[in-house]
Structure 1
């Protein structure tokens, strides 16, 4: 509980944590808003495909011209200013930078950036959870083999959920389920960037004011992002994906202990040790009070009479049997919380969540009937959404991971609601993300073990 004090000390002795960031979209801009306020951190460089957009976003959140340097990374490192440019390779090679924040939201590019940063001896905080979902265990292994750290991003829901799981287990509780909240109705699965604001809860004017990307926000609405983040939670926290995908049971915070318990005991889970997502809407579209839409939760059990008595004595909310309880964080603040990962990684040498297993995957599911020759446009787009599946089944059935379902052409028709398989797409794929994914698939055990560890 002394990270801030340590940041102050780093600032006082002029030895800041030196970081670089790739991508300055919404998440990155939220971090930029906080970076100005933090002692002991020097953001040496920000690179973006369009540097003028990065500069505009920095101005939006209060950066002055005097704080920005456009000459070189070396000059920024020497003067305490922040370089703006478009050369990510120069940024990850910069000798003064200790930590690289990958913040592009592009999973294929993110894998490339992470791998190069590892080679350059940099720790990486990966905001692009889309990459983590389909090859996170490969990234964490590559980081370890390079002698550096790989971390999920605090502020995003997976890292916060993993923190709750770790809290419960460290306290001695058995974790029954963990996950996040969401606004969900089944027909949202067909939503596109053209319809997202009709359902999200913001007007188009509010979305434009916040410079919000409709495709990215549609990835949340259509169920892709909940699947992606549930996979990240499962793979980092050692939990399992439901056999038939996420159920999105409707319920508020106090409903979680009843919902997130095994079916045999009145809940929705196939068994203990699962990930799931709670919806803030009833099936008729009514808002549920005291919802967990923007937060995360962990459900754990009092598996002895003494623990159950303690629950009762301290008046905590449990399921109707008194056995299951949840803890939660109702809100996540996205990039506004990212500095916690920076401080934890640099000062404690501890990642804020790291994938250790391959238990869950996210398959690309056709939003409509797709014809041969069509080009897939990835998460949040017009062609596919993401569906959570157990990793073993995904590999056995040859399912195309959502993270690679962008810019790939179909060679076979796929019916609406059906998963896209490797055999359905043009096999001429060759990039770092594809190769790393195939490396992970090659580690799958063929002796009946349903986990890739």
Structure 2
């Protein structure tokens, strides 16, 4: 990477002054790296919990004597000028501070995130968007508003969709054809061949009816061997059956891939994504075109993979991958024979980044945005696809819709549609709002099934995004590809 050269030669200030909104695990990781990160200072943290806001500073080892609780903009800016750091439970204060150049929006609440991002842009602050629930719904319009205001709106290093977008842009910049790309789910399926068991390795809680370990019948174990040539469809179908009791990818996984699709133009092959359990060596075998033995009818696909491995094997570390080829025969020979993992006919190889460091590595995006006015996404961000929700069980009128971690709903990825009665509802325009009618299990949720909240920034910005982009998306994308 050449980031250090960029920082040394082109920055216009000594540091980027950062305000964090939302001191959860992600936001706190940015703060705890502050003492070790050049050119970055977290000057302000806001959270609905004062203890959480102050605690993020303390966890970072910041001197308690330098921390000041503030409940007004004037007192907060005065404290920052005196070299103090401020914490508050009033998020609007951080958005208005002279002593903050960039806002990290990490509340995880789509309505709040939309409002804070809009205010930050209006106040000429750069925005590092960590709340993917907001980004997937209205990211393109926020990016447009930021550009018009002369500030940067960016995804972040550390989030998998942000890493995938950068990886894709790098691959295209060196002339690779991207057949497919995606992220590894955080959980990995570990196969103990001697015991005949598969266990999920995850830091997330496991909820019934899912289980942590499945015992594999003797007659099924052949499907857990490496996929033979020409057997992709059969093996993936049988693996899905055998491993169905283990926790599966969640709506949050599809959410991230929807954002990546909207930035890159990669598209889902099916609305639920394939999300196959695959060894690293099997990714180029399965996630290439059908004419070369894979799953996909053509190139340019976005999907998920759950790493399937033996106990002593390395995994994907929640990282990201691309299946690529060179369109020059000699270059492709080099690509597939110099250590990269190819498919059976060496028409594709997998390249992958086997880690994502969450908030620990987000400082790269923050510094590029704040010091160089560079975002770490693609130049073009269009509402190509929507994340939508399906009722996983009966939902009663008046019941509140949950977020991407709720078992109440499952997710799909569909071509984007405008806010209108009868159209599938963008997933996070549902979150926290109530069902207007009884909704049977298996029903795709539409806008006429949800009570629209009053004075919603999220809904207003989504309608503006629809008005500006949806009629032009095809033309804009065609211009970009050309």
Using structure 2 for the length normalisation, give the TM-score: 0.80
Aligned length: 426
8 Å contact from structure 2 (residues 430, 450) kept in 1: no
In structure 2, the residue matched to 1:405 is: 430
Q: Secondary structure at the match of 2:438?
A: coil
Q: Which of 216, 223, 236 lines up with 2:250 in the alignment?
A: 223
Distance 2:95 2:473 in 1: 41
Query: Does residue 88 of structure 2 align to residue 88 of structure 1?
Result: no
* Higher deviation after alignment, 310-319 or 389-398: 389-398
Query: Does residue 278 of structure 2 align to residue 275 of structure 1?
Result: no
Q: Secondary structure at the match of 1:408?
A: coil
Distance 1:199 1:64 in 2: 45
Which 5+ residue runs of structure 2 have no aligned equivalent?
A: 190-199, 214-246
Which 5+ residue runs of structure 1 have no aligned equivalent?
A: 202-219
Q: Secondary structure at the match of 1:255?
A: helix
Distance 1:329 1:142 in 2: 32
In structure 2, the residue matched to 1:178 is: 181
8 Å contact from structure 2 (residues 422, 447) kept in 1: no
Q: Secondary structure at the match of 2:26?
A: helix
In structure 2, the residue matched to 1:238 is: 265
Give the CA RMSD over aligned residues: 3.3
Using structure 1 for the length normalisation, give the TM-score: 0.85
1:185-334 pair list within 5 angstroms: 195=207, 223-281=250-308, 289-292=313-316, 294-334=318-358
How far did 1:292 drift? 2.4
Distance 1:300 1:395 in 2: 39
In structure 1, the residue matched to 2:244 is: none
In structure 2, the residue matched to 1:362 is: 387
8 Å contact from structure 1 (residues 117, 124) kept in 2: yes
Distance 1:8 1:81 in 2: 26
In structure 1, the residue matched to 2:156 is: 153
Distance 2:312 2:351 in 1: 18
Distance 1:276 1:230 in 2: 7
Q: Secondary structure at the match of 2:277?
A: coil
In structure 2, the residue matched to 1:26 is: 25
In structure 1, the residue matched to 2:126 is: 123
Q: Give the 3 Å change call, closer, same or farther, for CA 445–90 of structure 1 in structure 2.
A: closer
Query: Does residue 390 of structure 2 align to residue 387 of structure 1?
Result: no
Q: Give the 3 Å change call, closer, same or farther, for CA 334–44 of structure 1 in structure 2.
A: same
Once the two structures are superposed, residues 264-305 of structure 1 have per-residue CA deviations (whole angstroms, 9 ceiling, x without a partner) of 4321224211110012259xxx98954325110112112231
8 Å contact from structure 2 (residues 151, 373) kept in 1: no
Distance 1:368 1:287 in 2: 36
How far did 1:133 drift? 0.9
How far did 1:100 drift? 1.0
8 Å contact from structure 1 (residues 280, 287) kept in 2: no
1:68-107 pair list within 5 angstroms: 68-71=67-70, 72-107=75-110
Q: Secondary structure at the match of 2:352?
A: strand
Query: Does residue 374 of structure 2 align to residue 350 of structure 1?
Result: yes
In structure 1, the residue matched to 2:16 is: 17
